[in-house]
Amino acid sequence: MNTKTMIQIALSTMLSVGCLCLGYEAKVQEPLQVYRVYLEGKSLGLIQSKNDLENYIDKEQQSLKEKYNVQKVYAPTDLDIEKEITYNERIQSTQEIYHKIENITPFTVNGYSITIKGLEEKDEAGNDIITKDKTIYVLDKEIFEKAVQNTIESFVEKEKYEDYLNNTQEEIKDEGSKIEDVYIENKITIRKENIPANEMIYQTVEDLSKFLMFGTLEEQKKYTVQVGDTISDIAYNNKISNEEFLVANPQFQDENSLLFPGQEVTLGILQPQFDIVEVDHVVELKEVKYTREVRYDNNLLIGTTNVIQQGQNGLARTTSKVKKVNGEITSFLTERSLTETITPAVNEIIVQGGRANAYAVSGYWAWPTKTPYTITSGLGYRWGTYHDAIDIAGTGRGSPIYAANNGVVTEARYRWPDGNYIVINHNNGYYTIYGHLDTFYVKVGQIVSQGQVIGGMGSTGYVTGVHLHFGLWKGAPYHGGTVLNPLSLY
């Protein structure tokens, strides 16, 4: 065998071995199409079939199907399954991946995610804040729609609301009111999607209505009516307003409804999950109170009082725009140009003996605003907190605020939540406070007389509209004094 032959045999042998090696390598590196499973952005491993995993989840979650009465259960919302090519990475079983998932995050069912956007408000310190968004889950969108309807009808008179929706409201003649608008202040977004099965998913209109009203599904406090109880007494003793009591107990028409011993009523504090706004056009016949004019005559004995003109209340027809939020009046604007005087008021004129004494308190207390007016909020509890004055509205921004009686100004400054406010010491133990003023016309230490203009009505501090916060105290306000009802003066 010559050298050339030996070289040819060697080359042939090397090529044969090389081909065998190449064939082996090709067999080992043959690519496989698989699926990589990601949960919360982290890889759980590879599986052969995406459909197998989805079907396995549905098959294993029978308890969720029964709980929510649904036909199918889905993968978690943050689970991603992506197609991938691999060569030699280990392929895991469907069961392995399933158990990894169920130990980390909940599976989902098909339903609706409802987001109620927060609103701009002020906190207790007066800082601007935006309340938190709220998310509600339902399986059927109709459950949410009916619950919203129930909530609206808790704050808006049902028959009037139906007439508004059907465009069948009667036109106002001499007096009355009609709804101009009803809407939800918050932006609400409804999305059809898979929702986490471990979240609270509302399945009944009753449960969701309760949550939308009270902010919880916990059982509300109950009270058993005793002999002699009235709605006003029960509400006050449990730190809620009459209006809140009536919303929580729709079986009663108004605060004068009769109660019977043994009757059970609900005392839950309302926490509506969105703001329902009602705008009304109101025409009213209002009494215009007369004012008293006091004249002094040194020729008469001190203490002598002669009435030279009897006072007589008048009557006016007013037209107002009233805004309510969750049943509470937040804005009351009377159209002064549309106010019609039917019977003018006649002022009372009296003559007293001796000189006027700015320090002496008159037995007659002047009303602190122009008339006609509207009391939008009384003394007492509302939304779980105590309102220590009455709110008077309807006379407009900048309208005059009068001193209720003679006295000395002890405070005239800004403070949260009263805004610009004035305190008058009437030198007989009584003090009056005037809050949310637009302007001051007096200063600390100044002697003021009954009926003197001390400021202008405004909306400074923590308010929802233009009004006067008018309070009466025995002793200095917020310095050891006791709150009294200012209406007791009139």
Looking at residue 445, what DSSP letter applies?
T
Q: Where in the chain is the domain with CATH 2.70.70.10?
A: 276-489
Using pLDDT thresholds of 50, 70 and 90, give the confidence band for residue 8: very low
Q: Going by DSSP bridges, is the β-strand pair 348-353/292-297 parallel, antiparallel, or unpaired?
A: parallel
Mean pLDDT score of the chain, rounded to an integer? 91
Within 10 angstroms of residue 291's Cβ, the number of other Cβ atoms is 18
Structure-token pair, residue 231: 């709605």
Once rounded to an integer, what is the mean pLDDT over residues 383-394? 92
pLDDT of residue 358: 65
Q: Which residue has the tokens 């929510």?
A: 68
**pLDDT exceeds cutoff 50 at 152:** yes
Residues 110/74, Cβ–Cβ less than 8 Å: yes
Report the CATH fold assignment for 276-489.
Glucose Permease (Domain IIA) (2.70.70)
Q: Going by DSSP bridges, is the β-strand pair 453-457/482-484 parallel, antiparallel, or unpaired?
A: unpaired
Whose CA is closest to 235, among 375, 386, 381?
381
Using pLDDT thresholds of 50, 70 and 90, give the confidence band for residue 406: very high
CATH class of 221-267: alpha beta
Instruction: Provide, rounded to the nearest whole percent, the portion of the chain with pLDDT above 90.
Output: 82
**pLDDT exceeds cutoff 60 at 172:** yes
pLDDT of residue 15: 38
**pLDDT exceeds cutoff 60 at 28:** no
**pLDDT exceeds cutoff 50 at 98:** yes
pLDDT of residue 298: 86
Instruction: Provide, rounded to the nearest whole percent, the portion of the chain with pLDDT above 70.
Output: 93
H or E stretch including 62? helix 62-68
pLDDT of residue 382: 83
pLDDT of residue 265: 97
For 331-377, what is each residue's pLDDT tens digit?
999 998 999 999 999 999 999 887 777 677 777 899 999 999 999 99
Counting other chains too, the contacts that 217-224 makes at CB distance below 8 Å and 24 or more residues apart are: 220/248, 220/266, 220/267, 220/268, 221/266, 221/267, 221/268, 222/264, 222/265, 222/266, 222/267, 223/264, 223/265, 223/267, 224/262, 224/263, 224/264
Amino acid at 391: D
Q: Can the peptide bond before residue 417 be classed as cis, meaning omega within 30 degrees of 0?
A: yes
**pLDDT exceeds cutoff 80 at 37:** yes
Whose CA is closest to 105, among 41, 55, 56?
41
**pLDDT exceeds cutoff 90 at 112:** yes
Q: How far apart are CA 30 and CA 282, in angstroms?
A: 83
17 CB contacts (<8 Å, ≥6 apart)? Answer: none
Structure-token pair, residue 481: 């004094």
For 422-461, what is each residue's pLDDT tens digit?
999 999 999 999 999 999 999 999 999 999 999 999 999 9
Burial of 157 (0-12, 13-18, 19+ CB in 10 A): middle
pLDDT of residue 18: 44
pLDDT of residue 415: 94
pLDDT of residue 159: 93
Looking at residue 199, what DSSP letter applies?
S
pLDDT of residue 222: 95
User: Which of 11-25, 117-131, 239-253, 417-431 is modeled with the greatest confidence?
Assistant: 417-431
Whose CA is closest to 462, among 57, 125, 15?
125
Whose CA is closest to 111, among 27, 190, 52?
190
Q: Where in the chain is the domain with CATH 3.10.350.10?
A: 221-267
For 40-66, what is each residue's pLDDT tens digit?
999 999 999 999 999 999 999 999 999
Once rounded to an integer, what is the mean pLDDT over residues 169-175? 93
For 222-235, what is each residue's pLDDT tens digit?
999 999 999 999 99
